[in-house]
Amino acid sequence: MSARVILKPQVPDDLRSIVDYLEQFSIRSADRFLEAVFRAFDDLAAKPGKGSPKHFRSRRLEGVRSWAVPGFRNHLILYLPIPDGIIVLAVTHGSRRIRALLLART
C-alpha cells in the first residue's frame, strides 16, 4: 500500500502563487520547484516523522511538522503526519506568519 498525500484545499493556490512568482525570473526554476515539491510530498508521506516538529501554543496546531523544499530552502511544506501518510496544510515562504496561516486553515 502506498502512502497517502492529502492536500488542504488552499495548497494548490499556495503552489500556483509560488510558481507564478518564480516564473517571473525563470520558467526552469518554477518547473524545478514543482518537481521538488511533489517528490518531497511523496518522501514525507513515506516517512511522516521526517521534518522538524513545530511548537505552537494552540492545541489546534499540535503535531505540525515542517520540511524545506529541496533546492528551495526558503519554502516550507507544513504538514501533519497521519498513520498512512501526511496532510499537507500549506506550502509557503518561511518568512510568512506561519502560525496565523495555519490557524486560518485548521
CB atoms closer than 10 angstroms to residue 81 = 19
**pLDDT for res 2:** 77
Looking at residue 79, its pLDDT comes to 96
Q: Which residue has the higher pLDDT, 1 or 75?
A: 75
Q: pLDDT tens digits, residue range 78-95?
A: 999 999 999 999 999 988
In the chain, the domains with their CATH numbers are 4-105 (3.30.2310.20)
**Average pLDDT over every residue of 19-30:** 96
Pair 54, 44: CB distance under 8 Å: no
Note the pLDDT tens digit of each residue in 36-70.
999 999 999 999 888 898 888 888 888 899 999 99
Q: Which among 90, 82, 89, 9 has a CA at the least distance from the CA of 45?
A: 82
